[in-house]
Structure 1
Amino acid sequence: MREEQTLRGNHALLARANPLAKFAAVVLITMVLALSIDWVSASVALILELALFPLAGLTLGLLWQRGWPLVLAAALGGWSTTILAPDSGAILLDAGIWSISEGSLELGLGVMLRGLAIALPAVLLMSCTDPTDLADALAQKAKLPHRFVLGTLAAMRLVGLMAEEWHTIGMARRARGVGSHGNPVQRLRATLGQSFGLLVQAVRRATRLAVTMEARGFGGSQRTWARKSVYSILDVWVLLGGLGIAGAAVAAALGAGTWNMVFLARQ
């Protein structure tokens, strides 16, 4: 509920843009970053994306709070690529069972930065987009089926409640003395039990929501809309911004001579 109120109270510039325009800009950036595995294009895109966060009313602290799992995943992906990729160029570190060369380090850095540059626009999109506005845009502008749109809206609402549900279940279990002490194996078992409890609660909540929506006539053939989804000049600038980030990333990589197509990646 607090997440929903935050989104509705967000008066930042990007929060006023149409969700479909923001989604199209994210697609443009992602398509370009998916083509190359070099570190230059990913670095340029990442820097420009970070510069957009104030326009969405976000800070680096809030970004870390919401996106730290993505940062961790990107770092692990870059590290594993660095130590597993074939050696090329000078050997920088040789630990026996694995080694790091100039080529493998460049490849791992490219994978890590590209992962971050692809994930951040999605975080930006979800942080400044109200789920109801997104559902309105999908139904009115994209003409997607009502049942699909309403199901997506319900899922987005439920995802926002999972963190609070996890905290509530954890507090209840600790009050009974479960999961608050013991060796690592016992703690892992307690975490798995808490995860199962979260799954049960999610199924129950989804079932109640589905029955309620069906009883209130959601998914019917005739729909009316409380809010109209419209395009504005701001949406044009959002699309141009996405195109500009994609173009700047490609131009920087080509200028530096590091553009490296994924399916033709140099080893």
Structure 2
Amino acid sequence: MRLQEINPSVKAGAVVIAIILLAFAFDPVTPLLVLLGSSAAACRFGGVSVKKWLLCLSPFLLIAIGYVWSAMLFGRVPSGAHAQILWSFGPLQVTAAGVSRGISLGLRVMSFAALSLLFVLTTSPSHFMFSLMQQCRFSPKIAYGILAGYRFLPLLKEELAVIRTAHRIRRMGVTGGWADQVKQLGRYAIPLLASAIRKAERTAMAMESKGFTGSRQRTFYLRLSVTAKDWLFLAAVVAFVLVSFYISGRLGQLSWYSGEL
């Protein structure tokens, strides 16, 4: 079973449920298991290469490191036996509990990112919008508007490259201080905005001429359905998160989020 074959709405629901369940845990073992499981599922059943997966996770790793560092240094210092000081410099103190709390917070960030990337990298945007319209009764006006905007992004990128090249030919790309850079952004933004407005008008006229009214009672060239395979995937994701809770509890590491850092 490939993840690309799962109904996008069911897949999104499974990811949201997993993130909500995982938000109640605040220990290093549970999010670590979810992170490893999500990575294995994306590479094994989603066809995502290990290199691409690590590259997509790398920005979130930097964010997680920032959370770990801030929680270790500026988190609430516990009292009693858990306040074992590992390192101190002036008013800054790093305790064993702070390190554990920071690692737990960082792994939570990574596990949330892994679950989100699992959905993004294995789901077609067009199929997701079709699924939202057909299974979740999403408004066709909003869905097709999002799809049109998504299709415009590569075109805007190409136009930005053309504008930059034209500016270099006219020696307008050479900038000095921050004031010149702000003016240069304006020279980029205005043509791009005008081009986007023209594309939006042409798209609206084309859709109206084809009889698009935004009605839910319409036909689709692609019909998506929810099958037993989709429900099996949903049950497997929820079961995996619950098993991660169980393993963490058996190891004596499971703890629940109390709202304090």
Normalising by the smaller structure, the TM-score range is 0.7 to 0.9
Q: Residue 235 of structure 2 is aligned with which of 237, 240, 244?
A: 240
Q: CA 1:209 to 1:223, structure 2 compared with 1: closer, same or farther past 3 Å?
A: farther
State the alpha-carbon separation in 1 of the partners of residues 184 and 26 from structure 2. 39
Inter-CA distance 202–107: structure 2 relative to 1 (3 Å threshold): farther
The CA deviation at 1:177 is: 8.1
Gaps of 5+ in 2: none
Residue 248 (structure 2) aligns with: 253
SS of the residue 2:235 aligns to: helix
Q: Where do residues 114-263 of structure 1 align in structure 2 (5 Å cutoff)?
A: 114-158=108-152, 176=171, 178=173, 190=181, 203-204=193-194, 206-215=196-205, 216-217=207-208, 218-221=212-215, 222-263=217-258
Cα separation, 2, equivalents of 1:90 and 1:143: 55
Q: What is the rounded CA distance, in whole Å, between the counterparts of 2:103 and 2:167 in structure 1?
A: 41
**For 1:264 and 1:20, how far apart are their aligned partners in 2?**
30
After superposition, the CA RMSD in angstroms is 3.2
Asked if the contact 1:165–1:198 (Cα under 8 Å) also holds between the matched residues in 2, the reply is: no
Q: Aligned residues: percent identity?
A: 22
- Asked if structure 1 preserves the Cα contact closer than 8 Å seen for 2:3 and 2:46, the reply is yes
Shift of 1:239: 0.7
1:86 corresponds, among 76, 79, 82, to 76
Q: Secondary structure at the match of 2:23?
A: helix
Cα distance change, pair 171–261 in 1 and its aligned pair in 2 (3 A): farther
Q: Equivalents in 2 of 1:123, 1:197: separation in Å? A: 35
3-state secondary structure, aligned to 2:57: helix
After superposition, the C-alpha distances for 1:2-28 in whole angstroms (9 at most, x for unaligned) are xxxxxxxxxx81111110121011012
Residue matched to 1:103: 97
Q: How many Å apart are 1:263 and its aligned residue? A: 3.0
Instruction: List per-residue Cα deviations over 1:109-132 (Å, max 9, x = no partner).
Output: 111100010111111211111111
* Higher mean C-alpha displacement, 255-264 vs 44-53: 255-264
Partner of residue 25, structure 1 = 14
Instruction: Report the equivalent of 1:67.
Output: 57
Give, in angstroms, the shift of residue 75 of structure 1.
1.7
Taking the aligned partners of 1:113 and 1:133, their CA distance within structure 2 comes to 31
The TM-score normalised by the length of structure 1 is 0.78
CA offsets, 1:67-110, max 9 Å, x none?
Answer: 33222212212211111102232111112242211111111111
Is the Cα–Cα contact under 8 Å of residues 170 and 194 in structure 1 kept in the other structure?
A: no
Q: Which residue of 2 aligns with 1:113?
A: 107
How far 1:59 moved relative to its partner? 1.7
Residues 82, 105 of structure 1: 8 Å contact kept: yes
Task: Describe the SS at the equivalent of 1:56.
Answer: coil
Deviation at 1:238, TM superposition (A): 1.7
Distance in 2 separating the partners of 1:197 and 1:120: 38
Aligned length, in residue pairs: 250
Q: Matched residues in 2 for 1:189 and 1:67: separation? A: 35
Give 1 or 2 for the bigger CA radius of gyration: 2
Letter in structure 2 aligned against 1:105: V
Gaps in structure 1 of 5+ consecutive residues: 1-11
Partner Cα distance (2:58, 2:184) in 1? 22
Equivalents in 2 of 1:201, 1:67: separation in Å? 34
Tell me the TM-score normalized by structure 2.
Answer: 0.80
